[in-house]
């Protein structure tokens, strides 16, 4: 049972640790260390609160169910479709952003066109999606452990390159600009039902499993942001590991790029498999057409965005998190809690749900109309 709980925490953590961590330091650094820390703490709090909401909703089910089914059972078919729309928007946003990150990395390392690096990545991903996915929770937990070890080593080796003056600048007007990427970085709620059904334990222990995984990732995110801004200051790059290479040894830079590549590939593969299964199960589309339905739109967007100037990788993640993720990990769980809090226990009750609606509502409004 203890091993199951540990693997459950690692599974949840592994879902959270993805390309979001690579764009998070850049987004947070735009308002400086103080501003970035403030919005990070706020975003982390609301992501934690809604993850607990979802966990408690899972334990209210009589049988195993997906997040889509759980939300639909409480708020009806229209909310179920809205949930699916949010998941698809967030997932496609991630799938578009990941090749852009690889393309940016290849351009920096090998001086090849960004669109070519992105296309090569999508070719590899397409091949992997044709393979039959395994169902090894232990393997996924091992991958998560490797990612954590690589990241911790890179952070530790980067500490001597920190300059304390880099923590002093502050732009309060840019604080909320990181909200979309923070929401995206913590958008692992879709696997909470799977994790809790896997551990098969009491609600008290199940919530502990979720919180261990959640706060492990939150700590990694914050320390990576702290070290990135300490090393690079105002020059934090959209893909953070690229900028580190100019300040640390070649070995540390290489391991940093290995972490980035592995995090992006595993995240892209996981989301790709989820999209593929969604198309097969809900829309009865066969395997190869499902893969084409994923890859072709992503490829077209990536080719277009690769030709544009600006930080396309972080911009896409901001839209994916600030609209799609905010909808299905924030707004909809909060609406359900508003409905159930009078008869069931949820942390902070209806007041907490109201605060979630305000925060995630502001994130959607900011993303749509102010960015």
The domain spans of the chain are 2-369
pLDDT for residue 338: 95
- 1: pLDDT strictly greater than 60: no
pLDDT for residue 185: 92
The band of 64, judged by pLDDT with boundaries at 50, 70 and 90, is confident
Residue of 54, 48, 335, 81 lying closest to 183 (CA atoms) = 48
Residue of 222, 253, 240 lying closest to 154 (CA atoms) = 253
Mean pLDDT, the chain, whole residue set: 88
Give the pLDDT confidence of 311-342 residue by residue, as tens digits: 888 899 999 999 999 999 999 999 999 999 99
- Spatial contact of 175 and 28, defined as CB atoms under 8 Å apart: no
- 162: pLDDT strictly greater than 90: yes
- 136: pLDDT strictly greater than 60: no
Give the pLDDT confidence of 340-369 residue by residue, as tens digits: 999 999 999 999 999 999 999 999 999 999
Per-residue pLDDT, averaged over 211-217, amounts to: 89
What's the distance, CA 119 to chain centroid?
Answer: 22
Q: Which of 33-42, 48-57, 304-313 has the lowest mean pLDDT?
A: 304-313
CATH of domain 2-369: 1.20.1740.10
Q: Which of 72-76, 100-104, 305-309, 316-320 has the lowest mean pLDDT?
A: 305-309
What's the distance, CA 319 to chain centroid?
Answer: 12
Phi/psi region, residue 248 (left: phi>0; alpha: psi -120 to 50; beta: rest), is: beta
The band of 10, judged by pLDDT with boundaries at 50, 70 and 90, is low
pLDDT for residue 132: 64
Residue linked to tokens 């669109």? 115
- 145: pLDDT strictly greater than 90: no
pLDDT for residue 113: 86
Per-residue pLDDT, averaged over 152-175, amounts to: 94
Residue linked to tokens 């589309």? 285
Q: Tell me, letter by letter, the H, E, C secondary structure of the chain.
A: CHHHHHHHHHHHHHHHCCCHHHHHHHHHHCCHHHHHHHHHHHHHHHHHHHHHHHHHHHHCCCCCCCHHHHHHHHHCHHHHHHHHHHHHHHHHHHHHHHHHHHHHHHHHHHCCCHHHHHHHHHHHHHHHHHCCCCCCHHHHHHHHHHHHHHHHHHHHHHHHHCCHHHHCCECHHHHHHHHHHHHHHCCCHHHHHHHHHHHCCCHHHHHHHHHHHHHHHHHHHHHHHHHHHHHHHHHCCCCHHHHHCCCCCHHHHHHHHHHHHHHHHHHHHHHHHHHHHHHHHHHCCCHHHHHHHHHHHHHHHHHHHHCCCCCHHHHHHHHHHHHHHHHHHHHHHHHHHHHHCCCCCCCCHHHHHHHHHHHHHHHHHHHHHCC
- Give the list of residues 6+ apart from residue 303 with CB closer than 8 angstroms, or none: 115, 118, 119
pLDDT for residue 263: 84
pTM of the model: 0.91
Q: Which of 51-55, 109-113, 126-130, 246-250 has the lowest mean pLDDT?
A: 109-113
Q: 310 or 49: whose pLDDT is higher?
A: 49
pLDDT for residue 9: 66
Q: Which of 194-198, 286-290, 346-350 has the lowest mean pLDDT?
A: 194-198
Would you say how long the chain is, in residues? 371
Per-residue pLDDT, averaged over 198-214, amounts to: 88
- 18: pLDDT strictly greater than 80: no
pLDDT for residue 278: 83
Separation of first and last alpha carbons in the chain: 47
pLDDT for residue 172: 92
Residues forming beta bridges with residue 170, ordered by sequence position: 32
Residue of 272, 298, 318 lying closest to 23 (CA atoms) = 318
C-alpha torsion sign, points 325, 200, 206, 219: negative
Q: 22 or 54: whose pLDDT is higher?
A: 54
Q: Which of 122-126, 152-156, 174-178, 194-198 has the lowest mean pLDDT?
A: 194-198
Percent of the chain with pLDDT over 90: 53
The band of 289, judged by pLDDT with boundaries at 50, 70 and 90, is very high
């Amino acid at each position: 049972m203890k091993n199951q709980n540990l693997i459950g925490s690692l599974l949840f953590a592994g879902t959270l640790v993805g390309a979001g961590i690579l764009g998070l330091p850049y987004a947070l650094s735009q308002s400086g260390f103080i501003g970035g820390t403030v919005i990070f703490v706020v975003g982390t709090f609301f992501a934690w609160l809604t993850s607990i909401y979802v966990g408690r909703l899972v334990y209210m089910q009589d049988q195993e169910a997906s997040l889509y089914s759980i939300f639909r059972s409480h708020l009806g078919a229209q909310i179920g479709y809205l949930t699916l729309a949010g998941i698809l928007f967030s997932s496609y946003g991630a799938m578009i952003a990941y090749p852009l990150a690889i393309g940016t990395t290849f351009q920096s390392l090998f001086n090849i066109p960004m669109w070519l690096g992105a296309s090569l990545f999508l070719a590899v991903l397409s091949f992997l999606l044709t393979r039959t996915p395994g169902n090894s929770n232990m393997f996924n937990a091992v991958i998560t452990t490797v990612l954590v070890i690589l990241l911790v080593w890179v952070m530790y080796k980067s500490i001597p390159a920190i300059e304390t003056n880099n923590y002093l600048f502050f732009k309060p007007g840019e604080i909320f600009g990181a909200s979309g990427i923070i929401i995206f970085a913590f958008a692992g709620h879709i696997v909470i039902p799977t994790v809790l059904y896997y551990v098969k334990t009491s609600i008290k222990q199940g919530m502990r499993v979720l919180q261990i995984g959640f706060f492990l990732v939150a700590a990694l995110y914050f320390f990576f942001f702290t070290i990135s801004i300490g090393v690079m200051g105002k020059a934090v790059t959209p893909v953070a590991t690229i900028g580190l290479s100019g300040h640390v040894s070649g070995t540390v830079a290489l391991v940093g790029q290995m972490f980035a590549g592995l995090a992006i590939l595993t995240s892209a593969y996981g989301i790709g498999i989820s999209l593929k299964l969604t198309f097969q199960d809900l829309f009865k589309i066969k395997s190869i057409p499902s893969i084409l339905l994923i890859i072709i739109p992503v490829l077209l967007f990536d080719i277009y965005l690769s030709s544009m100037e600006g930080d396309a990788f972080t911009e896409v993640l901001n839209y994916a998190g600030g609209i799609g993720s905010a909808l299905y990990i924030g707004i909809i769980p909060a609406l359900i809690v508003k409905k159930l809090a009078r008869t069931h226990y949820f942390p902070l009750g209806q007041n907490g749900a109201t605060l979630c609606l305000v925060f995630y509502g502001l994130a959607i409004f900011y993303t749509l109309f102010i960015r």
